[in-house]
Amino acid sequence: MPDLDPRIHAFRPDLADASLRGTVTAIRYTEPTMRQCMRGVVPLLAEPASNAKQVSQIRYGEFLDVFETRVDGIAWVQNRTDRYVGYIPVEDVLIDTIADLSHRVQALQTFVYPEPDMKTPPLDELTLGSFIQPVDVMGAFTKLASGGYVFSKHIAHATETTTPDYVFTAGRMLGRPYLWGGRTPKGLDCSGLVQLALEMAGIDCPRDSDQQREAFGKPLSCHWRDMPWRRGDIVFFDPRHVGIMTGPDHIINASDYSMTVMVEPLTEIVKRYESIAAAGRPSA
């Protein structure tokens, strides 16, 4: 049988996606139920526990396949956007009424207000790329089908939010905090930065850096110092790390060294990761 990646295939010894029947062995197989996330940002966890490690995140509007909902309110799900599998708390998060999501958030972050009034305490916060369904415009605000209001200039029709220049999108994240498992402007890890930048350019991108390397990477034709690096080149490092070249000499990356999204000389990051590899220390 093939060696399937459990990050993007839903299977456990006791339960598996019915589509994997005959491919993986499990006690029980189940057909998933599609649900939609109606919370700004929700942690996707490695284990069904509130204190488990965050491996990714689910954004408002994303579609999920739900395989199991436990009595403690934690569900085992797969994100249809990047096929990542994990656990999320479901209370006030998922709905079974699927919305027609015609618009996207184009601001890095925007608040959802209970009334079309910026002075009211926000109900939630949406981030760049989140899909929404507007139903009415009231002055400077747009009402959402799921309830609440967002500032109209922070959203646009989905056809108008694609930004082919993914280096520009990555640059919008400069100074944003590093967050393990993060994939929004509120906090990103290295692969989350690359994924979000490519997604906003209309490019399907896997979640983790090794998956991205498999999808986009190829061996260097010469020593890295002799490479004619170009703006937009995606560079992979060992141990797992990834960044985007902003030109021939500099790279933008979400760094656990500075705990921010930063631009630095390629020579510096290579030196740092060579030192990490020599010391045998793990890193993001």
Mean pLDDT by 10 residues, the chain (284 residues): 88 98 97 96 96 97 96 96 96 84 96 98 98 95 96 96 97 98 98 98 97 95 94 92 97 96 96 75 40
Query: Taking each helix axis from N to C terminus, what angle separates 190-199 and 209-216, rounded to the nearest 10 degrees?
Result: 50
Q: In what order do the strands lie in the sheet with 149-151?
A: 134-138, 141-144, 149-151
Q: Are 146 and 36 in contact (CB under 8 A)?
A: no
Res 194: pLDDT: 98
Residue showing tokens 């996330």:
37
- Radius of gyration of the chain, Cα coordinates, nearest whole angstrom: 20
Q: What is the rounded CA–CA span in Å between residue 109 and residue 125? A: 7
Nearest to 36 by CA among 92, 99, 111, 78: 99
Please give the pLDDT value at position 280.
Answer: 55
| Antiparallel, parallel or unpaired: β 28-30 and 15-17 | parallel
**Residues shown for the chain:** 284
Q: What is the rounded end-to-end Cα distance, in angstroms, of the chain?
A: 30
pTM of the model: 0.94
